[in-house]
Structures are given as C-alpha cells and as structure tokens.
Amino acid sequence: MWDAGEFIAAVHTFGIPHQPGTPLYVMLARVWTLALPFAGTALATNLFSAVCTAAAGGTLAAFIARATGSRAMALAGALCAGGMFTVWSSATETEVYSSVLVLVMLTLLAAERAGRTGEARWRIATAYAIALAVPLHLSALVAAPAAVLLVSEREDGSIDWLAGARLAAVVLFAAGIGLASVPVTASGAGALAMVALATSRAGGRTRGETATTILCALLAISALAVLVVRARFDPWLNEGAPANLRALWDVIGRRQYGATGMWPRQAPLWAQVANWFEYADWQVALGVSNGVAPSWWRTPITVIFAALGVFGSLQHRTLHTRSWRALVALFIGATAGLIVYLNFKAGASFGWGVLAESAPHEVRDRDYFFVLGFWVWGAWAGIGAVALARRVGAQWTPIGVLTAALPLVLNAPAADRRAFPEATIAPAVARELLSSAPPNAVLVTGGDNDSFPTWYAQAVEGLRPDVTVVVAPLLATEWYRAELARRTTLLSRGDVSANRSVNAMLAIVARAARAQGRPVTASLMTSPNLREALGDLSVARGIVLVEPALAPQVVHLGGDAPSVDTSSNVMQTLSSFPAGAYDSGIDPAPESFLAYLRCPSQYLGAARGAIAPSSLDSVCKLR
C-alpha cells in the first residue's frame, strides 16, 4: 500500500512521482530495472531497495571497522542496524529511503577519509555526495552536520576551519535549492563566494579545490534538470508537470502540500517526543508483539537494546572520539532535530484517548522519517553487544555478534511481506477496482491507497486502459487539472485556472463524462461528500459505485446498505480472502482495504437473504 505502487509506475514509465519528484532515485531505479530484464518492474525495484540497504550495511561496517579496529564490532553493528524494523521495512518496498541510507553512509565514509588523510579529492567527494541529496531526497541532508565535523577534524584533533567552512557553504546552498528557498539559496551562494574569495589568496591548489568543489556540487544538483526534460515528454506519470523553471521550483519546494512551519506545533511537543518513543519500541522485537502499544513481552527487549546502544556509544567514544561525535550529530539530527523541524501531527496510532478528540493525526505512522536515528542506534547496540561480551571473555565475542543479530529474528514475523494480507491486498485492490468499472468508465478515487495501485496496474501491467482514473484530492492542484484537460476532454482549458472547490470540479468532470456517454463510477473508498458531487451513484457494482441505469440486476437492500448489482459478471465473492486468520500488524491499511474487498461477497449474501443488511461491515454501508 501507500507510495510503492506510484513509485513502481514512475520507474516503469520513467515518469515523475509526487513532489519533490526524486529524479535521481527514479533514474537509478530505472537503470536497475533495465539491467534486470528477467525480473518484472515491481520485483526489480523492491530488490533495488534491498541491495541499497545491504550496501549501506557494508559501508557502515567499513566505517565502524575503521573507527574501532574490530571486525566483530563492524559486523555486529551492521547486522543490528539492518535488523531494525523501520530499516527492514524500507529495504523491502519500492521507496526512496533505502537509497537515502546508502547515500548517507557513502557521505560519511568519504568525510571520514577526508579528515583522516587530508586529501582534497575526498573533501570534494563529500561535497558532491551532500549535493546529491537534492535530486535524491532532502532527508539525506540530515547527515550534513556529521559530514562537516568529520571533514573539519583531523586524527590528531586539529581543526581544518577552511575545509569545514567550504563544506558548510555547500550544505547551505544545497539546502536552499532543496527547500526552493531564495533567501537560503542566496545565503549559501554568498557563503560559497566568501570561501572562494578567501581561498583566492591562499594559493593555486586551494583555490582550485574550491572551484572544483563548487562545480561538483552544481553537477550533482543538475540532476534536477531531468525533471524538466521528462516533463516535456509528458510521461504517463507526470506529477507537478515541471516542464518549466517555475513549475520545477514549485515541485522541488513541495508547494502542493503547503508549508508547515515549526510554530505553532501541530501536536504538543511532549506528544511528538512520546510518538518517537512509540516508534522506537517497534524497532527491535516487533515480531514478538506486533501491535502499536507497548507490551510486557516486547518493550523490555527494547529497553535492553537501548541500554546496549548507550553502552556501545560510550565504547565508541573511547575507541574513536572523532567518528563518535559524527554519529552523535547524526543521531540528534535524525531524532530531536526532525521532531522539532518537521512538526508532525500526532501519529496515526498515537494519542487516542489522551489527546483531544479534535486533535489532528497523520494519515499514517511516520516512523520512516526517523530511519537514520534508528540506524545509528542499531550500530551502537551492535558495538555494545560485542564490547559487553568481551568483558566476559574474548571467546564470548561470537555471542555478542549473535546478540546484535537478534532483531533479524525478533522482527522477522512482523517484517515479512510475503504474509497475508499485505502480500496480496494492493494488487487485489487495483484488480477489483478496475474490473468492477464498466467499459470506458471514469473512475473517481479518494486517496493514495485506492489510486496508486490502479496507477501501477494500468502503467505497468496494462490493465483496463479504457478506464480513466480521476484522483479527487488532486483536483485541487492546477497541474492535475491541466493534465486532465490535456489528456482527456473531462475538463476544459478554462477549468484549469478556475478557483473552484474539489466538489465543484468533480461535478464538472461528471457532467463532461456523461455528455460523452462515459459511465461515472466511484471507489467505495471515496467519502460521501465526494460521491455527492458525482450525482446518483447509489448502486454497488463490485467495489465501485455506479448509477442505477448501469446496473442490469439491482437488488435494494434497504436504508442500512446501498443497492447492489448482482449480475454474475461483476459480483465476485472473493473467497480467496479468509476471515481473521492473519496478523494485521502496525499498519491498518491492509486490514482496512481487505474489509472493502469483502464488501461484494457481503452484498451478495444480503441480496440472497443469507445475512441481514444491518450486519454488513460499516465500510460496506458507506458510512
């Protein structure tokens, strides 16, 4: 569920996913899929995430081995970090965070070597890697303070202020571009100019390094130009349509989502901190108790690994203070820094019954934003496990490594994506939505999880190209209205710039479809408010709603349920989805959408008198 279907479609079509477009990720994953012609796009892109995480683990092991001089600690740190639940989840889905992880580790490895050897090429490589965060994903800049520390400090404790200032200026400039902020970009450009001026008096080699650093940073950022090039080809997926510099700036700056400042807080600060601790409790042993709330079985294991992390951090400081300070900076930035800066609402699973009923919640839990913090915790816990084992005796070192690897065992039941329902729900939603729609239909969807699977099915698998999917929330954006006007005749050019509500735009789309003789349908997942704008969609046909005229065999179930079309060619029992024999885990989306997929069989049962309409699941009653 969530963004994976969209990203797979973007990679398959070399298109542009949601803002900020992540062009470097799409390019890399596209090349990867072309190099694996024997694998389908979905398998290849998921494998890309796995390989990126494995590469990040190998790079982390190299980093720890250099810092501690211990291969056992390096292995233990990489195993524990990779076994953390959020890291594992990112490694087995088509998402950008695994590639962010490997970029961060390559950045830190280059920065560590730059400070240790004093070689200009490694300082330039560090600046290039930091600038790559802009076309990949800005979350990689969380590692920038750690990189500046590593580049600035030499092994003997001396400080190379010029190298630190040069890299800090690159960070500021990259952040300005990545945030699409003119003041921050100008500040970064000014800082780079000041460094260039200072080095112009320091000799040819230093001056040349500054110029090369600036050129390499610009080269990395220039990957954003791919968005403009691809948008002008209008690929199948072209979100934001950044075909010119103004649209590109809007896409990079995430203008579609609006700005959320650090004040006022969207949830009390104590709640945002407590929410992070909830996510932390999922990291080590979620398979022991696969639920959002703390448990007597899982939480003590979390506390033990937290203690190992503290002990490992202290051991790391003793063995190599310079790299320890860098990981401290990364951990603080990826935890407290993100809590303050991103200013999240309460998590989807957090605060119910504690916060006010009116308190806003995120549509999903955002533990993945903190993946770098959990990564550092895992690395320190691995170091701590080996260090503690060695306190007992050198022969206990393998026990320390095995202890560090425990999250791989303790998280396995929760992290396994082969299990029902997660393994089958997203393609089932896509298949059933598209197959339920009449020929040449206009299908209105209400959110990510009933839209992105259909995008995947149409773009990658070629299912039902006759159906036009209209994502209702996106009608609030001008680029999406322009796309509908450009690719269909459901909107006119005058509608593109009109300042109308989503419901008003839906009404225009519905009228245009009917004028063309096209059936208007809506996903069962759309809200009543959106459905009202589409007209009389009062009959359930599979898992979509249609007009009564489109239903050959209508059975009225009464006021407690919609009328249903019982035609044999559209009503499916979906008997392949058993009731209750599964672990729903911390993400409620698969279970929620499974309930929608069971609606047709319930409708059929009610139409035949086998069950009472009042006993239908609430989602099937469309409340």
Please write the tens of the pLDDT for every residue from 380-407. Answer: 999 999 999 999 999 999 999 999 999 9
What confidence score (pLDDT) does residue 575 get? 46
Which residue from 277, 264, 294 is spatially nearest to 336, judged by alpha carbons?
Answer: 277
Q: Flag whether pLDDT at 475 surpasses 90.
A: yes
Q: Flag whether pLDDT at 287 surpasses 80.
A: yes
The sign one gets for the Cα dihedral 474, 476, 481, 483 is negative
Provide the 3-class DSSP secondary structure of residue 566. Answer: coil
CA distance 239 to 395: 57
For 515, the token pair is 């004028």
Residue 148 near residue 164, CB atoms below 8 Å: yes
What confidence score (pLDDT) does residue 66 get? 95
Q: Flag whether pLDDT at 56 surpasses 60.
A: yes
CA 303 to chain centre: 27
Q: Flag whether pLDDT at 542 surpasses 70.
A: yes
Percent of the chain topping pLDDT 90: 76
Q: For residue 317, with 0-12 CB atoms within 10 Å meaning exposed, 13-18 middle and 19 or more buried, which class applies?
A: middle
What confidence score (pLDDT) does residue 74 get? 98
**Cα atoms found within 13 Å of the Cα of residue 158, Cβ hemisphere only:** 7
Band (94; pLDDT cuts 50, 70, 90): very high
CA distance 547 to 522: 10
CA distances from 12 to 1, 464, 498 (A): 18, 17, 33
- The pLDDT of 294-318, averaged and rounded, is 97
What confidence score (pLDDT) does residue 457 get? 96
CA distances from 583 to 160, 286, 301, 422, 550 (A): 54, 12, 21, 10, 38
- The pLDDT of 517-523, averaged and rounded, is 95
Report the mean per-residue pLDDT for the chain. Answer: 92
- Report DSSP state, residue 468: E
Band (202; pLDDT cuts 50, 70, 90): low
Tokens 């710039």 locate to 497
Band (204; pLDDT cuts 50, 70, 90): low
Least confident interval from 256-260, 262-266, 379-383, 547-551: 256-260
What confidence score (pLDDT) does residue 33 get? 96
Residue 373 near residue 342, CB atoms below 8 Å: no
Which residue from 94, 124, 123 is spatially nearest to 12, judged by alpha carbons?
Answer: 94
Provide the 3-class DSSP secondary structure of residue 557. Answer: coil
- The pLDDT of 19-31, averaged and rounded, is 96
Which residue from 423, 433, 425, 430 is spatially nearest to 457, judged by alpha carbons?
Answer: 430
CA distances from 590 to 2, 9, 122, 223, 420 (A): 10, 20, 45, 35, 9
Q: Is the peptide bond before 264 cis (omega within 30 degrees of 0)?
A: yes
Please write the tens of the pLDDT for every residue from 205-245. Answer: 777 899 999 999 999 999 999 999 999 999 999 999 999 99
Q: Flag whether pLDDT at 459 surpasses 70.
A: yes
Position with higher pLDDT, 125 vs 617: 125
Q: For residue 592, with 0-12 CB atoms within 10 Å meaning exposed, 13-18 middle and 19 or more buried, which class applies?
A: middle
CA 116 to chain centre: 34
Band (198; pLDDT cuts 50, 70, 90): confident
Q: Flag whether pLDDT at 621 surpasses 90.
A: no
Which residue from 432, 393, 429 is spatially nearest to 541, judged by alpha carbons?
Answer: 432
CA distance 63 to 69: 10
Q: Where are the alpha helices (DSSP H) in 200-334?
A: 204-221, 225-232, 245-252, 269-280, 299-319, 321-332
Collect contacts of 349-357 with beta carbons under 8 A, ≥24 apart: 349/278, 349/292, 349/586, 349/588, 350/271, 350/274, 350/275, 350/278, 350/292, 351/267, 351/271, 351/275, 354/271, 355/267, 355/268, 355/271
Which residue from 541, 565, 589 is spatially nearest to 443, judged by alpha carbons?
Answer: 541
Residue 387 near residue 400, CB atoms below 8 Å: yes
- The pLDDT of 96-111, averaged and rounded, is 97
Q: Flag whether pLDDT at 434 surpasses 70.
A: yes
Q: For residue 296, with 0-12 CB atoms within 10 Å meaning exposed, 13-18 middle and 19 or more buried, which class applies?
A: exposed
Residue 63 near residue 109, CB atoms below 8 Å: yes
504's enclosing H/E stretch is helix 502-515
Band (573; pLDDT cuts 50, 70, 90): very low
Look at the chain and count its residues. Answer: 623
Q: Flag whether pLDDT at 419 surpasses 90.
A: no
What confidence score (pLDDT) does residue 267 get? 93
Residue 605 near residue 590, CB atoms below 8 Å: no
Residue 67 near residue 316, CB atoms below 8 Å: yes
Q: Flag whether pLDDT at 99 surpasses 90.
A: yes
Which residue from 471, 441, 442 is spatially nearest to 455, judged by alpha carbons?
Answer: 471
What confidence score (pLDDT) does residue 259 get? 72
